[in-house]
Structure 1
Amino acid sequence: MKISVIGCGYLGAVHAASMAQLGHDVIGVDVDKAKIEALAQGKAPFFEPGLPELLIEGVESGSLRFSTDIADARDAVIHFIAVGTPQQKSGTGADLTYVNGAVDALLPHLKAGDLVVGKSTVPVGTAERLAAIIEPTGAQLAWNPEFLREGFAVKDTIAPDRLVYGVRQTSESSGNPDESSAVALLNEVYAQAIANETPLVVTDFATAELVKVAANAFLATKISFINAMAEIAEVAGADVTELADAIGYDARIGRKFLNAGVGFGGGCLPKDIRAFTARAEELGRGESVAFLKEVDAINLRRRDRVVELVVDALGGSAYRKKVAVLGLAFKPDSDDIRDSPALDVAVRLHGLGAHVVATDPEAIANSRIRHPQLTFGSTADALEGADIVVVLTEWKEYRALKPVEQASVVQGQIVVDGRNCLDVAAWRSAGWRYIGLGRR
Structure 2
Amino acid sequence: MEVVHPAVAGIDVHKKILWVAIRLPGAHQPFVRSYRTFWRALQKMAAELVELGVTDVAMESTGVYWWPVYHALAQTGRIEVCVANAEHLKSVPGRKTDIRDCQWIAELHQFGLLRPSFIPAQDVAALRHRTRYRKKLIEARMSEGQRLAKVLEDAGIKIDSVASKLLCVSGRDMIEALISGERDPYLLAGLARGVLRHKHEDLVAACDGRFTATHATMCRLHLDAYDHTTGKITELDGLVAEAATVFEPVITRLMTIVGIGRRTAEVIVAETGADMSRFPTPEQLAAWAGLAPGNRESAGKRRRAATRKGNKHLKAAMVEAAWGASRTRSRIGARLRRLVRRFGKQHAKKAAVATAHTLLRVCWVVMARGEDYREDGGDFYDRREARQAHYLAARYQKTLERLGYQVTLIAPGPGPEDHPDPQQPEEPAA
Q: Could you say which TM-score interval applies, normalised by the shorter chain?
A: under 0.3
Q: TM-score, normalised by structure 1?
A: 0.20
Higher helix share: 2
Higher strand share: 1
Look at both structures and tell me which one has the larger radius of gyration over its CA atoms. Answer: 2
